[in-house]
Amino acid sequence: MEVRFSLYICQIYTKREHLRYNMKIQRTAILITISILLFSCNGIDKSSKSQTSHYNLLNSKVKTNIDNDLMRQPTDSILHDSLLFYTANGDTTGLWPVKNQPVPLNGAILPYNRVVAYYGNLYSKRMGALGEYPPKEMWERLNKEVKAWEVADPKTPVVPAVHYIAVVAQNDPMSDGKYRMRMPAHQIDSALNIAKMGDAIVFLDIQVGLSSVQEEVPLLEKYLSMPQVHLGIDPEFSMKDKSKPGTKIGTYDAEDINYCSEYLAGLVRKHNLSPKILVVHRFTKGMITNYQNIKLRPEVQIVINMDGFGPPAIKYSTQDRFIKTEPVQFTGFKLFYKNDPKLQPFHMLTPDELLQLKPRPVYIQYQ
């Protein structure tokens, strides 16, 4: 099959996880809690940290027809709330941490860990680091970033991730006029296999074009039902006014985000999974409308990912205007290897610099 990616879209990118929570896991959680509370005196053993950071999510089994007494229960609220305040990093606006958050179900990745992801598509070397390098080299590079974040923030274990664009916006209408191309199953399987090489979780990202999340998300149910697979949605290419993708910035409403969240929550309940993460990209105000109507659930953790490229001052400004001041639940931050350093001061932000943000991002994406 010949896959034709829109050159224009490529140019845009060029410029721009049956329960297993036995006593061993409980002891691990207690150790992590003690380590966090006593970090200032004792520090953290990084070798044990890397082993506990996954909470055994990748080894849990998908199970149906679960008895009520086996269903996942909320996690420890005291530890959860303390980590939310750590993530808020002393914010004084009153916006962070987000108030009245539901306590997530057991096995939640956030805020107990930070996710560090490589983003892209296996058909294109220009859409991100994921497709730019052969898998072995990609993992060498991603592991360096993981290590850098572990060193910069020893309190927070790092979970590596592969963030794969499973539905790609197109410059051509395609056969159904929806201006998007769905990646074949064998390519998505390849992304899962690459993730398995590094014991990583997976995000499947959707650029709907003239389609919709209501149409596209259910088609990925096979994958989203897997414990290690999570979801990303990109408003930039959601063209509700039927414009061609790439000619203007698209949008999602809270209604769209709530649809995705409830869909994922249904899968979590059906298969007794750990909570899913839903990443929503953003770099303009209009990319998300009615943010205050976004619903939070114990089955799903929502990350609003700062997706703009450019020098540090521009990225900080985008973060302050569209992510910090319109709080949803968690924040993410995207870094562009090629585009961020193009203008003065010719510099891509480092982990140490990003950890000064209020709130600290819990999801980091490299393109």
pTM above 0.95, yes or no: no
Q: What is the pLDDT of residue 287?
A: 98
Distance CA 137, CA 308 (A): 26
* Cα dihedral 59→61→67→73 (10° resolution): 30
pLDDT for res 4:
38
What's the first-to-final CA gap in the chain, in angstroms?
A: 26
Residue 203 · residue 232 · CB < 8 Å? yes
Q: What is the DSSP letter of 171?
A: S
- For residue 288, which of 329, 231, 241, 234 has the smallest C-alpha distance? 234
3-state secondary structure 282-316: ECCHHHEECHHHCCCECCEEEEEEECCCCCHHHHH
* Chain centroid offset of residue 27 CA: 27
CA 159 to chain CA centroid, Å, is 11
Give the 3-state secondary structure of 205-258.
EECCECCCHHHHHHHHHHHHCCCCEEEEECHHHECCCCCCCCCCCCCEEHHHHH
Interacting residues of 357 by C-beta distance below 8 A, sequence separation 6+: 89, 319, 331, 333
With CA atoms as reference, report the closest residue to 332 among 264, 275, 276, 281: 281
For residue 163, which phi and psi values (nearest 5 degrees)? Answer: -110, 100
* Domain boundaries defined on the chain: 7-366
Closest CA to 213 of 266, 269, 261, 159: 261
Q: Are 5 and 170 in contact (CB under 8 A)?
A: yes
Q: How far is CA 268 from the centre of its chain?
A: 17
Q: Measuring CA to CA, which residue among 276, 122, 241, 135 is closest to residue 186?
A: 122
Closest-CA residue to 281 (of 55, 128, 58):
128
Name the CATH topology of 7-366: TIM Barrel (3.20.20)
Give me the helix-helix angle, 135-152 and 185-197, nearest 10°.
50
Preceding peptide of 345 cis, ω within 30°: yes
pLDDT at site 73:
75
Between CA 231 and CA 305 the distance in angstroms is 13
Phi-psi region of 58 (alpha: psi -120 to 50; beta: other; left: phi over 0): alpha
Give the whole-angstrom CA distance, residue 31 versus residue 52. Answer: 10
Distance, CA of 174 to CA of 289 (rounded, Å): 28
Per-run averaged pLDDT (10 residues), the chain, 367 residues: 38 35 37 38 36 40 36 82 97 96 96 98 95 97 98 98 98 97 98 98 98 98 98 98 97 98 98 98 98 98 96 97 98 97 95 98 98
Q: Which helix (DSSP H) or strand (DSSP E) does residue 40 occupy?
A: helix 39-42
Q: Any residues with CB less than 8 A from the CB of 93 and at least 6 apart, and which?
A: 324, 325, 358
Burial category of 19 from C-beta neighbours within 10 Å (exposed 0-12, middle 13-18, buried 19 and up)? middle
| pLDDT computed for residue 339 by the predictor | 95
